[in-house]
Amino acid sequence: MMRIAIIGTGNVAWQFANAFREKHNVEFIYGRNAKKAEQLAQSVEAAFSTSFNQIPRDLDLYLIAISDDQIESVAGQIPEVSGIVAHTSGSVDLTVIPHEKSGVFYPLQTLSKEKVVDWKKVPLCVESQHAESLKALTELGSDLSKNVQQIDSQQRRAIHLAAVFACNFSNHMMANAQELLRESELDFSILKPLIEETVEKALEVGPDNAQTGPAIRGDEKTLEKHQNLLENHARLLEIYNLVSQSIQDTRHE
Amino acid sequence: MMRIAIIGTGNVAWQFANAFREKHNVEFIYGRNAKKAEQLAQSVEAAFSTSFNQIPRDLDLYLIAISDDQIESVAGQIPEVSGIVAHTSGSVDLTVIPHEKSGVFYPLQTLSKEKVVDWKKVPLCVESQHAESLKALTELGSDLSKNVQQIDSQQRRAIHLAAVFACNFSNHMMANAQELLRESELDFSILKPLIEETVEKALEVGPDNAQTGPAIRGDEKTLEKHQNLLENHARLLEIYNLVSQSIQDTRHE
C-alpha cells in the first residue's frame, strides 16, 4: 500500500486519485485553486492545501498531474520529500523533476472527469532512473492496468507524436468527411460502419497492410475526379493531394 | 423473389451473389474469366458464361459488380433485357448505363471474399430514375440491410470522397504513427486503446466536437517540439504542418 499525494485537480488528477483509492491511500491533494482542491480532497477523503509548504514530506508518491507547461515550475516548488516525485505527461522529460527519486507515470489515454475509464486496458508508461522507484511505479501501474510498460523519455516523445497522427489527425480526417457530407445534406452517421471496419482492420493487420483506396491502387481517374470535386475547397484539396501523394510514396513495392 | 444475374466475379460479386440467395434466385453469372465465373456460379448453383450473348434476357435484375472504369464499357455490351441493369459503384454515374431501367445498388462498405459481412449494418445506397425500379432496388436492399437510402449520383460522389477522407486517410495517419513508433522500437498496438476511444467518441458526438490535441488547443510549445522531432522526416513534417494548420483553421470560434 502506498501513501500518495496528488498535485493537481484536473481530469487526470481526478481519475488517478479515484483509481488509486482501491488499493492505496490518497492522503493529500495540492491545488492552486482552493475550491477545486477541496472538491477532489473530499471525494477521496484526503487533506488538501494551496500551499506547497503544507505538503506532507513522508509520503511514498507525489504525482504531478497538471498541464505540461506547468510541470517544471511546479516540480521546482515541491519541497524535499522522502517519496517518488512523478509527473503524468506524455511530452515532458523526466529531467524537469529535480528530486532524486523522479519518475513518470503516463497514462496513454484521453481522460475526462465524466467518463469512467477502463483502467485494465490503458497502457501505463513508467520511467525512472532510480531502480527502486521504477519498481514501485511499475507495481502501482499493475494495480490498475494489465499493460504497464517501461518507456524512456525519447520513446515517450515518439508515442506522444504518434498519438497525434493516429488520433488527432484521424479525427480531423473524419471531420473533413463530415464537412463534405454536410454540403450534400448527408449525415456523418452513414460512414459509421465503414469507419468501424477500417479501424478494426488497421488494428488487426496493421495500418500499413490495411491501406485501401484510389491512392494506393494508383487509380488516377478517381483521383482526378476527386480533385475536380474539391476545386472550390482549397483547404481540402491541399490535404487530399498531400495525403494521396504520401500514401503513394509509402506504398509497398 | 427476384431472378438475378451477376455481372462480375470479384469480391462484391461474390458477397452479393451469396447474400441474395437467401430470398432470391441467383440464376446467372457473367465473367470475362471462365474459371472464376464457373467457381462463383458453382458456389451459388447458377449458370455462367463468358459471352454477353448468353445472358438470359428475362431476369429481374442484372447487377454489374466490376471495377469502376470497366462499368461503362460492360454496360454497353449487355443486351436489351426486361429487368433492371444496375451497378454497385460509389463513384460512377447512373447515366453510364444505357438501359431504360438503369440503377445503382452501392454497398458503402469494404468487402473481401474471405470476411463475412454483417449486411444488416451496411448502408445500401440505391438510385434509379425509373420509379418501379427504385422501389424494387429499395426492397432488395431491405432484404439485406436495415440501412437502405435513396442517394442520387451527386450525393454518392460526395459519400465516396468523404469515405476516402474518413477511412483511407485516417488509415494513413495510423500508418504514419506506426512508422514513428517503429523508429523507437515500439509496437503500434500500444496506441490501440487510444485509437478505439478516439473513434468511439467521434462516432458518438461527431468528429467536429471530438477534436483534441495540441493544434486545437493552440499549444504552440508542443507543436514546436513535434516539428523539431520531425526535422529529418520531410514527408511527415509536411503532413504535420498542413493538418495542424487545417485543424486550427476549422476550430470553433
Burial class (CB in 10 A: 0-12, 13-18, 19+), B7: buried
> Are B61 and B165 part of one and the same domain?
no
Identify the domain boundary among B151, B182, B213.
B151
The answer, yes or no, to whether residue A113 has pLDDT greater than 60, is yes
A168 shares its domain with A138? no
Q: In this complex, which of B109, B196, B216 lies closest to A194 when CB atoms are compared? A: B109
The question of ipTM being above 0.90 is answered as yes
What pLDDT sits at residue A121?
95
Q: Is the pLDDT of residue A3 over 60?
A: yes
Put simply, the answer to whether B178 touches A219 (Cβ < 8 Å) is no
> Is A131 found in the same domain as A61?
yes
DSSP A152-179: -HHHHHHHHHHHIIIIIIHHHHHHHHHH
Using a CB-CB distance cutoff of 8 angstroms, which residues of chain B are in contact with residue A176?
A: 162, 165-166, 169, 246
Q: Check whether residue A198 and residue A100 sit in a common domain.
A: no
Using the predicted structure, report yes or no on whether residue B210 has a pLDDT greater than 70. Answer: yes
Alpha-carbon distance of A27 to A163, in angstroms, equals 33
Question: For an interface test with A, which of B71, B199, B221 has the most A Cβ atoms less than 10 Å from its Cβ?
Answer: B199
CATH of residue A36's domain is 3.40.50.720
Q: Do residues A122 and A184 both lie within one domain?
A: no
**Residue A165 to residue B171, Cβ atoms within 8 A:** no
Residues B207 and B120 both lie in one domain: no
**Confidence grade of residue A6 (pLDDT, cut at 50, 70, 90):** very high
pLDDT tens sequence across A220-242: 999 999 999 999 999 999 999 99
A31-75 pLDDT, tens digit each: 999 999 999 999 999 999 999 999 999 999 999 999 998 999 999
What CATH number is attached to the domain comprising A186? 1.10.1040.20
Looking at residue A45, its pLDDT comes to 97
Among residues A124, A151, A178, which one ends one of the domains? Answer: A151
* Low-confidence winner among A59-63, A117-121, B135-139 (lowest mean pLDDT): A117-121
pLDDT of the residue at B252 = 64
Residue A253 has pLDDT above 60, yes or no: no
The residues facing A105 across adjacent strands are A126
pLDDT at B112: 83
Residue A252: the pLDDT is: 64
Q: Which of B70, B174, B192, B246 to mutate to test the interface with A (most CBs of A within 10 A)?
A: B174
Q: Does B146 touch chain A (CB under 8 A)?
A: no
Full residue range of the structural domain in which residue A69 is found: 3-151
B48 and B114 share a domain? yes
Look at B166 and A197 and tell me if their CB atoms are within 8 Å: no
Average pLDDT of the segment spanning A134-139: 98
Q: Decide if B209 touches A, using CB distance below 8 A.
A: no
The three cell numbers of residue B172 are: 494513413
Assess whether pLDDT exceeds 70 at residue A142: yes
The reply to whether B125 and B170 lie within a common domain is no
Would you call A185 an interface residue with chain B, using a CB distance cutoff of 8 Å? Answer: yes
Same domain, B118 and B84: yes
Summary mean pLDDT of chain A: 96
pLDDT of residue A251: 84
Same domain assignment for residues B40 and B106: yes
Inter-residue contact B62 to B78 (CB < 8 Å): yes
- How are the residues of chain A apportioned to helix, strand and coil, as percentages rounded to the nearest 5? 55, 15, 30
Closest CA to A92 of A5, A148, A12, A2: A12
User: Do B120 and B207 fall into the same domain?
Assistant: no
CB within 8 Å of B50: residues ≥ 6 apart = B30, B31, B32, B33, B34, B37
Distance from CA of A49 to the nearest CA of B (A): 29
Last-in-domain residue among B128, B151, B174: B151
When pLDDT is cut at 50, 70 and 90, the band that residue B223 belongs to is very high
CB contact under 8 A, A171 and B206: no
Mean predicted confidence (pLDDT) in A20-24: 96
pLDDT band at B88 (very low <50, low <70, confident <90, very high): very high
Task: Confirm or reject contact between B223 and chain A (CB < 8 A).
Answer: no
Both B11 and B134 in one domain: the answer is: yes
Q: Does the pLDDT of residue B93 top 70, yes or no?
A: yes
Chain B neighbours among A 81-110 (CB < 8 Å)?
91, 108-110
- Check A199 against B196: CB less than 8 A apart: yes
How many domains is chain A built from?
2
Burial class, A88, CB count within 10 angstroms (exposed 0-12 / middle 13-18 / buried 19+): buried
Report the pLDDT value the prediction gives residue B116, as an integer from 0 to 100. Answer: 85
* Cell numbers describing residue B134: 427504385
The predicted-structure confidence for B162-182, as pLDDT tens digits, reads as follows: 999 999 999 999 999 999 999
pLDDT at A120: 96
The minimal CB distance from B172 to the residues A151, A157, A246 is found for A246
pLDDT over threshold 60, residue B91: yes
Continuous segment of H or E residues that includes residue A194: helix A192-205
Q: Do the chains contact at A193 and B122, CB–CB below 8 Å?
A: yes
Shortest Cα–Cα distance, B10 to chain A (Å) = 16
DSSP B141-206: HHHH-S-EEE--HHHHHHHHHHHIIIIIIHHHHHHHHHHHHHHTT--GGGGHHHHHHHHHHHHHH-
Over residues A147-167, the mean pLDDT reads 97
